[in-house]
Amino acid sequence: MSETAKISIEGKEFELPVITGSEGEKAIDISKLRSLSGYITIDPGFKNTGATTSGITFLDGELGILRHRGYDIEDLAANCSFLEVSYLILNGELPTAEELKAFETNISEHTLVNEGMEAMFKAFPTGSHPMGQLSSMISSLSLYYPKALNPNRPEESIQRTIIRLMAKMPTICAMIYKKSKGHPLVYPNNSLDYVTNYLNMSFGQVSDPNYKPDPVVVEAMNKLLILHADHEQNCSASTVRVVGSSQSNLYSSIAAGISALWGPLHGGANQEVLEMLEAIKNDGGDVQKYINKAKDKNDPFRLMGFGHRVYKNFDPRAKIIKKSADDVLAKLGVNDPILEIAKGLEVAALNDPYFVEKKLFPNVDFYSGIIYRALGFPTEFFTVLFALGRLPGWISQWQEMRRDKQPIARPRQIYTGAAPREFVPLNKR
């Protein structure tokens, strides 16, 4: 007999099914609890709520494990190209050489964006945040491809939308960067691989067709994109699923995910980390002062890049990125005093009882900004790079939600407002 859980409410017992994941994780299925008992469960921030079953990513926050489709993140980051990992996340299996080639070719044939989209930049005020621009641009793709408005169209057509998104995202990210500098756009070069093409569109110049990004930069960027590719039911992936559950189209669902990622408690933390490290440096480099601020309950300051909802031991992505930051800075000959501040802050925090007791460790965003900065990206642009990496994960979460025929996301609430009262017309108030 399959396992069940019993819940006792007002002297009555209710039996609920237990779901077991492929790694032995357990969940009580409470979907029928209300119809059985009249009770709902409440869990602000979904700290203890499984919103779905999923076959994409497994993570164990206590052991610091992260796997996509069964493969360890360390193996993927050390051995794969970003598109190889994207294929895995999107399709469930690592591609053969032929499958990967076909996937790459397919993407490279859709990298151009409609010229009309360039006009949008004229409407954005100077200095607009790149994440606001990215969300708007991705949302506007749904206007250029109206067939995509129907999420129930044939799978072949959905696959075309997925390829379009994967292909146009780097072009759009590079357009945002170039426009922020006031430089002419560098068009996609489809003979280049995904990462090199993106760097070429960002740092190449129209006047210099021979520009080639440093292989160290290409490798670092490839690894960073892989490390961000998916992270199961995080805030932005959940947003993509929630928006998609109303049968909103893929472009607008992804645009919503980008907006969720922008927040400083999620992907926006990478920008905040760099700004925090700069502030510490400009304030004389006293890391202890900032540790004390973070511990002070009357001070809203948090140590950005520390803590995680799920990881309570270490973030495996942060471990890989920390090593990569050392390598990249050494190979590029960059001597960034910010790295020393970051290391000092990490050591001080890891030895501080407050951070130890609350299990607050550096997360993926703590060191990634240092690498992005060494690669030449401005601080405000860091979260765009997170979004570029996270795209296959968001798409895959959307596809899984759709294929599993998940119902529209519509949580309940416990009302705590005013009791019923008599209406008083305006002239009598």
Cα(424)–Cα(351) distance, integer angstroms: 61
* Residue 17 beta carbon to ligand CMC: minimum distance, rounded to whole angstroms: 27
Nearer to ligand CMC, 188 or 307 (CB): 307
- Cβ atoms of residues 12 and 37 within 8 Å: yes
**Helix, strand, coil shares, percent, the chain, to 5:** 55, 5, 35
* Residue 276 beta carbon to ligand CMC: minimum distance, rounded to whole angstroms: 10
Nearer to ligand CMC, 59 or 113 (CB): 59
The CB-side HSE value for 221 (13 A sphere, CA atoms) comes to 27
Catalytic residue among 230, 315, 352, 365: 365
User: Which letter does DSSP use for residue 55 in this model?
Assistant: S
Spatial neighbors of 127 by CB under 8 A, at least 6 apart, are none
Nearer to ligand CMC, 355 or 398 (CB): 355
* Residue 426 beta carbon to ligand CMC: minimum distance, rounded to whole angstroms: 43
* Residue 268 beta carbon to ligand CMC: minimum distance, rounded to whole angstroms: 8
* Residue 198 beta carbon to ligand CMC: minimum distance, rounded to whole angstroms: 21
Which residue's Cβ lies closest to ligand CMC? Answer: 307
* Residue 74 beta carbon to ligand CMC: minimum distance, rounded to whole angstroms: 18
Determine which helix (DSSP H) or strand (DSSP E) holds 345, and give its type and residue range.
Answer: helix 337-350
Residues at the contact surface with ligand CMC, assessed by CB under 6 A? 45, 231, 234, 265-267, 269, 294, 302-309, 358, 360, 363-365
Nearer to ligand CMC, 80 or 269 (CB): 269
Helix 382-403 and helix 269-282: axis angle, to 10°? 160
Determine which helix (DSSP H) or strand (DSSP E) holds 235, and give its type and residue range.
Answer: helix 235-245
Which residue do the tokens 């960027």 mark? 221
Cα(253)–Cα(240) distance, integer angstroms: 5
* Residue 297 beta carbon to ligand CMC: minimum distance, rounded to whole angstroms: 7
Catalytic residue among 68, 228, 308, 352: 308
Nearer to ligand CMC, 61 or 92 (CB): 61
Q: Give the pair of three-digit tokens for residue 226.
A: 């892989």
**308: annotated active-site residue:** yes
Helix 364-375 and helix 215-227: axis angle, to 10°? 150
Give whole-number Cα distances, 362 to 13, 65, 75, 322, in Å. Answer: 44, 15, 21, 10
Nearer to ligand CMC, 29 or 299 (CB): 299
- Cβ atoms of residues 365 and 325 within 8 Å: no
User: Which letter does DSSP use for residue 12 in this model?
Assistant: E
User: Which letter does DSSP use for residue 153 in this model?
Assistant: S
Nearer to ligand CMC, 250 or 274 (CB): 274
- Cβ atoms of residues 307 and 269 within 8 Å: no
Which residue do the tokens 């992505």 mark? 317
**129: annotated active-site residue:** no
Residues annotated as catalytic (active site), given as ranges: 308, 365
